[in-house]
Amino acid sequence: MPVDIDIQATNTDPQLFVDRLDETKELKLLLGRLLKSKNGQGGVLVKGDSGVGKSILSRRVLDELRTEWSADLVVVEIDGGRLTGVRGLLNRLCEVIYAEVEGLGEEDLTNRAAWLAKVASYGKLTANEIKQINQEVSASSKIRSSFWGLLSGEGALGWKRTASTSASDGYEIVITEDYLSKLLSAFLQELHTYQYRPLIFLDNLDRIGRMDAQEDANTIAALVKQLLELPDCVLLLNLRTQFAHHTTDRRELTHLALEGLPPQVLQEILAQRLQQLVSDDITRLSLPEAALHTVAERLARRTDNPLAFLRWLDFWLARTENRPEDLERDMEKFIRQYFTTVSRPWLASTITQLVAERDAGYNDSPLTPALQRPQILLLERAGAIVPDSLLLDPPERRYHLHHDLDFLLPEGYYHAATLPPTSAKG
């Protein structure tokens, strides 16, 4: 019978983090330097294939920075998968900033953050709302600030007079993206005045608006530009490799690329997750431990992608009879379930070409458009192959097999290029 256990393949809890000591040290050093700089401005772009471990690495480093900086660090964490476009990003930033500032115990700062969140949700500010703001400003002991100045009637960006409904004229402020950006900038400067260091972490930047087309790269570039124009804050951005090309290659961003992991580390990841499940008393493994290790060892030799490895194991544990000798059959079920529109002859042709190019010395395992173009486009549309760059037209793109299909490649395919060469004997 299948084992009722969920190894939480997509869980990015930093307590589940394993290995990547060098990358952890480098990312922490880069962010620490930016936070200690005079303006606390700049950013790091963590890039890599989907599922390689960008999110869990970033969250582990942020946990360590929170401990070291104590209450001085204000981390604003945003998931791009729940946003749409620039306005959606700005609105969410304002909401999360308010939630984080509220816990600082600074009444005046919290009051301003609350207005920031309110303004973000409005299409405009009416005369009555502006009057209320000015009354609050007058009652404050710290009334002179650039933030309040942006909300003070005729001096505000976007201010305009409206039709009168009474004896006196009315006016309103239209809340545009530009206006909201200026409010955010002013508030971040206020945080610095109070000796706080803001750090904005935007995970899954490429998933904003369900992006998956060439023009989306330009949208991402616009979002990055918008964030980089915010002063007095440090950025940590996570982005899939095929989006991270010249549109995000800005001097304000330091790039940190993540590669795949070797088989022994993949098995350490599994052990860590199983240990947490048992310690949390969520469930207990009810099949022979040796059987799981046998399957895990075989699958770890087929991929270098942590998410693909964990997803396969999760499928095997939950939807099969858990017999190691039936692993190949079980993986065929996985293909049929998740790649319903992909023709097996097409996949076989793709695998053959990938292996041939690797054997010919192309260690980065590219899939060039030597296959017929209609076949390439259909495989891409079905999600079976992934482009290196969405900024190139389809005839120029190079592709990789989707990591969920890595088990169709020979064992050790991804790891062969990392092995030291054998010395020839004379």
- Give 317-366 pLDDT, tens digit per residue: 887 778 888 998 899 899 988 888 888 888 888 888 777 777 766 555 45
Find the helix packing angle between 127-139 and 107-121, rounded to 10°. Answer: 170
Find the helix packing angle between 21-36 and 54-69, rounded to 10°. Answer: 50
- Give the whole-angstrom CA distance, residue 59 versus residue 17: 9
Query: Domain boundary at 322, 338, 354, which?
Result: 338
Q: Look up the pTM and report it.
A: 0.87
Number of domains in the chain: 4
Domain identity same for 360 and 387: yes
Query: Domain boundary at 310, 338, 366, which?
Result: 338
Domain identity same for 59 and 163: no
Binned at pLDDT 50, 70 and 90, residue 422 comes out as: very low
Paired tokens of 152: 């003070």
The number of CA neighbours under 13 Å toward the Cβ of 88 is 15
pLDDT tens-place string over residues 65-101: 999 998 899 999 999 887 877 888 899 999 999 999 9
Q: Does the residue 6 lie in any domain?
A: no
- Give the range of the structural domain holding residue 412, as residue numbers without chain letter: 344-418
Question: How large is the average pLDDT for residues 195-214?
Answer: 81
What's 203's DSSP letter?
E
Mean pLDDT of the chain: 81
205 Rama sector, left if φ>0, alpha if ψ -120 to 50, beta otherwise:
alpha
Q: Does the residue 392 lie in any domain?
A: yes
Binned at pLDDT 50, 70 and 90, residue 265 comes out as: very high
Domain identity same for 210 and 224: yes
Domain identity same for 26 and 83: yes
- Cβ atoms of residues 400 and 353 within 8 Å: no
Domain identity same for 108 and 213: yes
In this prediction, residue 101 carries a pLDDT of 94
In this prediction, residue 260 carries a pLDDT of 93
Find the helix packing angle between 373-381 and 344-359, rounded to 10°. Answer: 110
Beta bridge partners of 202: 78, 237
The answer, yes or no, to whether residue 57 has pLDDT greater than 70, is yes
In this prediction, residue 278 carries a pLDDT of 67
Q: Does the residue 303 lie in any domain?
A: yes
In this prediction, residue 425 carries a pLDDT of 38
Binned at pLDDT 50, 70 and 90, residue 169 comes out as: low
- Give the whole-angstrom CA distance, residue 64 versus residue 28: 8
Domain identity same for 107 and 221: yes
CA distances from 259 to 154, 226, 268, 358 (A): 53, 28, 17, 18
- Which residues have CB under 8 Å from 156's CB, separation 6+? 130, 149, 150, 173
